[in-house]
């Protein structure tokens, strides 16, 4: 907070301006007396000595705030509003694992059960904790869904093509 106050109140501005002015005077004096080329080490050092006031304080404030922000982030990892570290790849792998669990040895899957399980997982409900009545209700809703009917028709068409 002290660094913020120093920046906002302009306390250090005079000192930064003095350092920059001194570097400018020395640069001019060096050029007038010795006429060095632009790549002269002395000129390069004087150029590097210039302090960009805003950049200096913003960098300083970032260094001050970074550990604070990280601590706050770590303490809020479990909050509902906090994003998870789960990636899209993780989600896809979970979906495939779910499908594998509900696919029998012959490769037939109970698509309705997969949908129910995935839906439960999406809304944060353990699919294994659902009562038979809840599962039946979900199945009824899925069976009435246009999307479900489209997928089922596509699956039937694929099976018919394989048989031919």
Instruction: Tell me the C-alpha distance between 50 and 27, whole Å.
Output: 11
Entry pTM: 0.42
Locate the domains of the chain by residue range.
Answer: 2-75, 88-163
Q: Is 141 helix (H, G, I), strand (E, B) or coil?
A: helix
Residue that wins the pLDDT comparison between 123 and 66: 66
Q: What gap in Å lies between CA 109 and CA 17, rounded to an integer? A: 74
Q: What is the pLDDT of residues 42-63, one digit of tens each?
A: 999 999 999 999 999 899 899 9
């Amino acid at each position: 907070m002290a660094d913020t106050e120093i920046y906002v109140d302009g306390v250090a501005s005079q000192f930064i301006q003095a350092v920059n002015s001194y570097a400018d005077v020395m640069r001019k004096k060096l050029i007038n007396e010795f006429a060095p080329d632009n790549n002269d080490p002395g000129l390069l050092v004087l150029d590097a000595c210039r302090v960009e006031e805003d950049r200096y304080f913003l960098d300083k404030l970032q260094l001050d705030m970074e550990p604070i922000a990280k601590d706050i982030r770590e303490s809020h990892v479990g909050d509902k509003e906090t994003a998870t570290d789960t990636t899209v790849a993780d989600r896809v792998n979970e979906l495939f694992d779910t499908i594998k669990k509900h696919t029998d040895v012959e490769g037939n899957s109970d698509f309705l059960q997969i949908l129910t399980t995935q839906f439960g997982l999406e809304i944060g409900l353990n699919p294994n904790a659902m009562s038979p009545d809840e599962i039946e209700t979900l199945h009824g809703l899925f069976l009435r869904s246009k999307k479900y009917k489209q997928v089922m028709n596509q699956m039937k068409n694929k099976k018919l093509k394989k048989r031919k």
